[in-house]
Amino acid sequence: MDEIIIEGGTPLSGEVSVSGAKNAALPMIAASILTGGKFTFRNVPVLRDIDSIERLLSDMGVAVETLGNTVHIDTADLNRFEAPYEQVRQMRASILVLGPLLARMKKARVSLPGGCAIGARPIDLHLNGLSLLGADIKLSHGYVEASAKKLKGAEIYLDLPTVTGTENLMMAAVLADGVTILRNAAREPEIAALAGMLNKMGADIKGAGSPIITICGVKKLKPVSTVVIPDRIEAGTFMVAAALTGGDILVKNCNPDHLQALIHKLEKTGAKIQVRDDGVRVKGGGRINSVDIRTLPYPGFPTDMQAQFMVLMSVANGFSVISENIFENRFIHVSELQRMGADITISGNHAMIKGVPKLSGAPVMATDLRASASLVLAGLVAKGTTRISRVYHLDRGYEALEKKFARLGATIKRVRAKA
């Protein structure tokens, strides 16, 4: 298993180009099974989660060819409708095939994801919505078995603005009879990106990116070529790295509109931010002010940036409170940061952070995707050597992260751990 070794303390500077967004690419690739034919996806990040969804589709008879960041998919021969436990267990987002399979094949058998490191993460809202669209849903032997003679448009109110739930229901509704209205829908940029692709395929979706999405069912869809939007979480991770190490980084190929909550908070910490035509430049170096954050659905502060921002607060001047409102268990990085000298106390969904002058390098263990990114950031600012194990979590969602940091001047390398 690979490890990442970092000698901390170097201010990072230079330019870095952000990869395509994992969380946009996954639903877009899943959407390709809505109809038979040849799709091309560009700006697809090279990641373990992308491999996972491609493998899932291949097992269903879909032809997948990856050439660097371009993926060609031919869905003409889709002949199965199952996402097995082994695959869903490794990547919860496999649930994204449920809606499109039901729409095209009229049936789907998808393993229930179960718990994960950051909480229970149920899929009840996906299933309630599909039932309202007319699907017959049974839970049996750990699987969701869904079938429908015909899906019919419906009014669906989501108790919470679930991201993959909104995506699943949007994909199920595009081929339904009549009009579907999704209320309290998630507004993440990845939702609008998926709707953009579906509309290009011939769907009729209005309001994606707002809390009310209206989907008029169509009879047929066609395959398309499309480009994945930039990864706002990767961009945000580099922006925090600049502020944290007192560096100066131009983060290219990102959409500043998608980063407003983070930009606002980083400015309050004292970082200098310049939104330019070619990217966002972040300059640190002065005193880091403590700033409170609370995670919220988009356009609020993203839960996927919480762990990274916590590292910045760990070396800030004063006290801050980070409130995690999306996932109940998303503080598992805290115990590792404490081992590096961070002064953090957890109470319920709040983390109280007292900034310390320095973190110190230590052997630490990655526990989930964003927690791993926070440990890399901590290693970059810590005094001495940090050795991060279980970096396969990082490989799920960051393309060549250590290479990108190395090009910005970090002393960072990946090694194969001894068995």
Chain residues binding ligand UD1 by CB under 6 A are 23, 26, 93, 119, 121-126, 160, 162-165, 186, 190, 303-304, 326-327
Q: Smallest gap, in angstroms, from Cβ of residue 169 to ligand UD1? A: 10
Q: Which of 1, 76, 116, 417 is catalytic?
A: 116
Q: Which of 361, 353, 350, 254 is nearest to 312 (CA)?
A: 353
Q: Smallest gap, in angstroms, from Cβ of residue 357 to ligand UD1? A: 31
The residue among 43 and 303 lying less far from ligand UD1, judged by its C-beta, is: 303
Q: Smallest gap, in angstroms, from Cβ of residue 170 to ligand UD1? A: 13
Residue 216 known to be catalytic? no
DSSP 190-223: HHHHHHHHHHHTT-EEE-BTBSEEEEE--S----
DSSP-derived 3-state class of residue 352: strand
Name, in order, each residue with C-beta under 8 angstroms of 52's C-beta and a sequence gap of 6 or more.
87, 90, 91, 94
DSSP-derived 3-state class of residue 168: helix
Q: Other C-beta atoms within 10 Å of 210: how many?
A: 12
DSSP 256-282: GGGGHHHHHHHHHHT-EEEEETTEEEE
The residue among 377 and 410 lying less far from ligand UD1, judged by its C-beta, is: 377
The residue among 165 and 361 lying less far from ligand UD1, judged by its C-beta, is: 165
Q: Which of 50, 59, 51 is nearest to 27 (CA)?
A: 50
Name, in order, each residue with C-beta under 8 angstroms of 396's C-beta and a sequence gap of 6 or more.
22, 47, 48, 49, 91, 369
The residue among 193 and 280 lying less far from ligand UD1, judged by its C-beta, is: 193
Say how many Å lie between the first and final Cα of the chain, rounded. 8
How buried is 79 (Cβ within 10 angstroms: 0-12 exposed, 13-18 middle, 19+ buried)? exposed
Given a contact cutoff of 8 angstroms between Cβ atoms, the answer to whether 94 and 83 are in contact is yes
The residue among 126 and 390 lying less far from ligand UD1, judged by its C-beta, is: 126
Q: Smallest gap, in angstroms, from Cβ of residue 177 to ligand UD1? A: 24
Q: Smallest gap, in angstroms, from Cβ of residue 404 to ligand UD1? A: 20
User: Which residues are catalytic, by number?
Assistant: 116
